[in-house]
Structure 1
Amino acid sequence: MESSIVDASATSRKRRRDEEEEEELEQVFFIIVSVVTMLLGALTWYHDKYFVKEPARNLELERHSFLNRLYKGTKTDCIEQLRVSKKAFFKLCRILQEKGQLVKTKNVPIDEAVAMFLHILAHNLKYRVVHFSYCRSMETISRQFKNVLGAIMKVSKEYLKFHEYNLEGSVENKWRWFKNSIGALDGIHIPITVSAEDRPRYRNRKGDISTNVLGVCGPDLRFIYVLPGWEGSAGDSRVLRDALRRQNCLHIPNGKYFLVDAGYTNGPGFLAPYRGTRYHLNEWIGNTPQNYKELFNLRHASARNVIERSFGVLKKRWSILRTPSFFDIKTQIRIVNACFMLHNFIRDEQHSDPILEAQDLELLSVVDNELINQQMERVTNNIRDEVTTIQATEEWTRFHYFFLSREMESSNEKNKSSGKRKMSSEGTRSYFAWNLEMERVLADVLRDQRNLGNKGDGNWKAVAYSTAAQILSKRFGVHFMADNVKNRFKLWRT
């Protein structure tokens, strides 16, 4: 009996002790949960107040918005970013799909792939920059770039070839002296990136790493033939010899020839200027030819300048040709070829070229710099007729004198009849020649006329020429006509 009472008492004490321990645990747990809840609340408040959370990005929506602004927005945006108009862009996509066998992938349509390709060429963008704008992985961008480049290489032969053209206006006037000429050629150095062991071979005379590219173009600024890939240390004549011997060679029809500079040999198919005689166009500002060699070189330089102008437009349009890129050497050479092909495509499809118009707007400042760098010098407008005293010994040297004997007499007669101007004060006639001060005043007047809106699409309005003639006549006491101003500006452009 007593043992039962003792057991019951022990059990009761144990139960109370367990209940007390359980209550203590519940209190401790409650305290811990309360503290944790308070801490979480404080952290949540602090985070919401002082930390800005990055919102979730809808990459698909961002990509479509960017592409719509790129080639479905304004014409100006499309030309500035992709260097082609919207109409030309979509036609290029169709050509690459139909003739270049470019196919769309599961996630990337053709127009987006072509846009990425043109964007990289136009601005020399790195893949990481394109990745940010197009919301595509760099692996996808690299694959699509190579696909578009391969498609362009397949259709390049259709654009880089001889073609028929019609010359009008000032262009026809420059080329009428060279009836059988089909264009001009020259070499251009394109900066590239090569391995350390190949750098000595690609280092040109200026010390830069480049590839020497042979370019041949017609009077209409379209390229006929392109040969990229030669090392920068190779001379222009060596590259030309290779172009004439390789399987895909430069073909020159019988009786035709190209205009070349003094760095090339004067021979069948290639007409070079006189060496040791003033030649480059910037040397003629404020000067007129003094003998038959200078006359020939002036007309030769005016016509051959088409290749320099084509190279200038090419490099202005595609920034990737102005600085070394990160591609391997083989891809860089193919990119050069693609840029020439796209240049011809744009010449065919876009009747107005903003790049050429930009060059015309920059012309006046270039003329100003040339005028400042030269000394004031007055020259006469007489050209001595010495062509009959020369005995030629080579076929293409004889062409120089045939050219001069045919044109010199008519040129002198024209100078005598049109070179006389009435003096405003005395009413007498006298010869006059443009000098540096006249050209500087003309440049200032044309700049003012441009600001007044008297310059249309690539041409000046008649009021600009007449205003310039009036100001020049009043300033120098010589009777200027609008045609004098117009012809002088044409000489600047050449």
Structure 2
Amino acid sequence: MNNSGVDEVEEEIFLRSVQFNALLIQHYYMNYVHKTPCMVSSQTGNKWIMEVLQGNDIWCYNAFRMQKEVFYRLCSDLEVQFGVLGSNRTSHIEVMGMLLWCLGQGCGIRSVAERFQHSSETVCRYFGQALDHLCELGKLILKPSENEFNGVAPEIMRDNRYMPHFKDCIGAIDGVHIPASIPPEKQIPYIGRKGIPTQNVMVACNFDMQFIYVCAGWEGSAHDTRVFLSVLRDPEMKFPKPPPGKYYVVDSGYPQMNGFLGPYKGPRQHFQQYRRQEPRNEKEVFNQAHSSLRSVIERTFGVWKKKWKILRDMQGYSFDKQVKIVIATMTLHNYIRRHAHGDRHFVRSEEREGYGSSSEIEMDDYVEEEYHGHGAQEMETIRNNITQSLMNARNNVNI
């Protein structure tokens, strides 16, 4: 190759190098010097929140899953109890709005960032802070109220289906499985009878459809009995044990022991199983009434799940945060129940009282474990006495 050919190759290499360097400089300039802003909408988060809160009541309820006055009261109570959230640029109300929008709509951090015109980092930081505040509030309201276990529950007192037969019942206990987002290499302990990763949450509720105890974070493969006994045996779990003579109603997956009244095993145990065929014997009469009374916890779960859509899919959140989300949404559930008047979800559930939607009932199709704890014989006597009382009332009606 002559000298002219070498010169042409070197010139070509030089030009390509110049072009490549120019592209690198352009890329650096556009991304780090002259960046195109992402959040340029005039509908800022604060402006949108104010429009919602000053607009139609239905708009606020659909956005934040609660009425306006409840929203304002929640923000005020959290600020008084646990300090101010947000900053000079992001108000306390906007931070709570971001959290409630995320929990109620079931959307991810990026969607919240777009809606409120903040960076994902800002949204994630405030989401965590607000979640912690709600979990702290949960320590105050996810428990029985003072003297709640004294006397007869008002809901039982005014219902002749349960009074006087179940006058000593203080609530219901059950477990619920919430879909969990777990890395593939860690999923096996969380896969239970549903075949998907879940966290098993043990809950107690009263007859006003409020949660009075929650233990979240157990692996989906853990049996309800294991979770239950672990809670009872650990004083640090602070389970509200029934006073002498009182009891919770539980399903057949729980042990027969003092303070916890289950159904007769063998006969039909679920209220919806009696819709087409009346009870055939005294044990089924008891099981029908027992399941009807216990349906309060199924209806409570139904309200909770329908209101907070994030419970259906929590991908993108660490498992610790998923546990906090469960506790936070239950806290909100109780708060709304205490302070809202005519909340849509609760009203609809109360209209179906005693029946329960079949889509909300989790049938106990797993193998029942035979376990009898302390006081099993005493509970058997109580169950037999209630059965006799129900049969007497039934016979008097038929006379």
Does the TM-score normalized on the shorter chain lie above 0.5?
A: yes
| Superposition RMSD in Å | 2.6
Q: 1:133 to 1:75 in 2, by over 3 A?
A: same
Q: Secondary structure at the residue paired with 1:304?
A: helix
Unaligned runs of 5+ in 1: 1-53, 370-392, 417-494
Deviations 1:327-372 (A, max 9, x none): 0011110111111111000000112121134457889x99899xxx
- With over 3 angstroms needed to count, the CA separation of the structure-2 counterparts of 1:346 and 1:366, relative to structure 1, is closer
CA distance in 1, matches of 2:105, 2:339: 21
Aligned 1:64-79 pairs, distance under 5 A: 64-79=46-61
Q: 1:116–1:141: 8 Å Cα contact kept in structure 2? A: yes
Alignment of 1:22-37 (within 5 A): none
C-alpha deviation, 1:195, in angstroms: 1.8
Structure 1 residue 156 and structure 2 residue 138: aligned? yes
**CA, structure 1 residues 168+116, in 2 after alignment: closer, same or farther (shift >3 Å)?**
same
Counterpart of 2:326 in structure 1 is: 336
Aligned residues: 339
| Separation of aligned partners in 1, 2:228 and 2:156 | 31
Report deviation, 1:221: 0.4
Q: What residue is the counterpart of 2:382 in the other structure? A: 399
The answer to whether residue 109 in structure 2 is matched with residue 127 in structure 1 is yes
Match in the other structure for 1:280: 270
TM-score, structure 1 as length reference: 0.64
- Structure ranking higher on relative contact order (CA contacts 8 Å, 6+ apart): 2
Amino acid at match of 1:78: C
SS of the counterpart of 2:310? helix
Partner of 1:237: 225
Q: Deviations over 1:189-229 (max 9, x none)?
A: 01111122220000011211000000100011001100001
Tell me how far 1:167 sits from its aligned partner: 2.0
| CA distance, structure 2, for counterparts of residue 415 and residue 198 of structure 1 | 58
Q: Tell whether the 8 Å contact from 1:171 to 1:219 is kept in structure 2 after alignment.
A: no
C-alpha distance in 1 between matches for 2:358 and 2:99: 38
* Structure 1 residues 344 and 366: CA distance shift in structure 2, 3 A: closer
Map 1:84-233 to 2 at 5 A.
Answer: 84-163=66-145, 164=148, 167-168=154-155, 172-176=159-163, 177-233=165-221
* Contact kept in structure 2, 1:174 and 1:302, CA below 8 Å: no
Contact persistence 2:157–2:167 (CA under 8 A): no
1:257-309 superposed Cα distances (whole Å, 9 cap, x missing partner): 11000111121011000111012121111322221101100110110000111
* 1:124 and 1:325 in contact (8 A); partners too: no
Matches of 1:169 and 1:366 in 2, distance apart? 17
Q: For 2:219 and 2:66, locate their aligned partners in 1 and report how far apart those are by CA, in whole Å.
A: 31
Q: In structure 2, how many angstroms separate the alpha carbons of the residues matched to 1:213 and 1:166?
A: 25
8 Å Cα contact 2:156/2:162 also seen in 1 = no
CA distance change for structure 1 residues 409 and 361 in 2, over 3 Å: closer, same or farther? closer
Equivalent AA in structure 1 for residue 264 of structure 2? Y
Aligned-pair CA distance for 1:173:
3.2
Tell me by how many angstroms 1:410 deviates: 3.0
**Cross-structure match for 2:261:** 271
Does the 8 Å CA contact 2:66/2:343 hold for their aligned counterparts? Answer: no
Amino acid at match of 2:378: E
Q: Deviations over 1:141-169 (max 9, x none)?
A: 01110110111122211111112395258
- Residue number in structure 2 paired with 1:320: 310
Distance 1:116 1:309, change over 3 A: same
| Structure showing the higher helix proportion among its residues | 1
Letter in 2 for 1:113: V
Say yes or no: does 1:249 pair with 2:231. Answer: no
Q: Which amino acid counterpart does residue 93 of structure 1 have in structure 2?
A: C
**Matches of 1:233 and 1:321 in 2, distance apart?**
19
Give the corresponding residue for 1:487: none
Does 2:363 align with 1:410?
no
Structure 2 CA distance for aligned equivalents of residues 149 and 60 of structure 1: 28
Larger radius of gyration: 1
Alpha-carbon distance between aligned partners in 2 of 1:103 and 1:324, rounded to the nearest angstrom: 24
Tell me the secondary structure at the aligned position of residue 297 of structure 1: helix
- 1:291 alignment partner AA: N
- Structure 2 counterpart SS, 1:243: helix
The equivalent position to 2:346 in structure 1, one of 352, 356, 370, is 356
Give the partner amino acid of 1:356: F
TM-score when normalising by structure 2: 0.79
Aligned-partner Cα distance in 1 for 2:112–2:156: 43
- Given the alignment of the two structures, is residue 291 of structure 1 paired with residue 281 of structure 2, yes or no? yes
What's 2:370 paired with? none
Aligned with 2:296 (options 288, 306, 310): 306
Q: Is the 8 A contact 2:138 2:328 kept in 1?
A: yes
Partner of 1:448: none
| Aligned counterpart, 2:31 | none
Q: Deviations over 1:434-453 (max 9, x none)?
A: xxxxxxxxxxxxxxxxxxxx
CA change 1:136–1:171 in 2 (3 A) is farther
Q: 2:285·2:390 contact (CA, 8 Å) conserved in 1?
A: no
Conserved? CA contact 1:102–1:148, under 8 Å: no
Shift of 1:322: 1.6
SS at match of 1:312: helix
Look up the SS of the partner of 1:258 in the other structure: strand
Q: Distance in 2 between matches of 1:102 and 1:78?
A: 22
Matched residues in 1 for 2:39 and 2:393: separation?
74
Does the C-alpha gap of structure 1 residues 303 and 408 become closer, same or farther in structure 2, counting only changes over 3 Å?
Answer: same
Structure 2 CA distance, aligned partners of 1:260 and 1:367?
A: 19
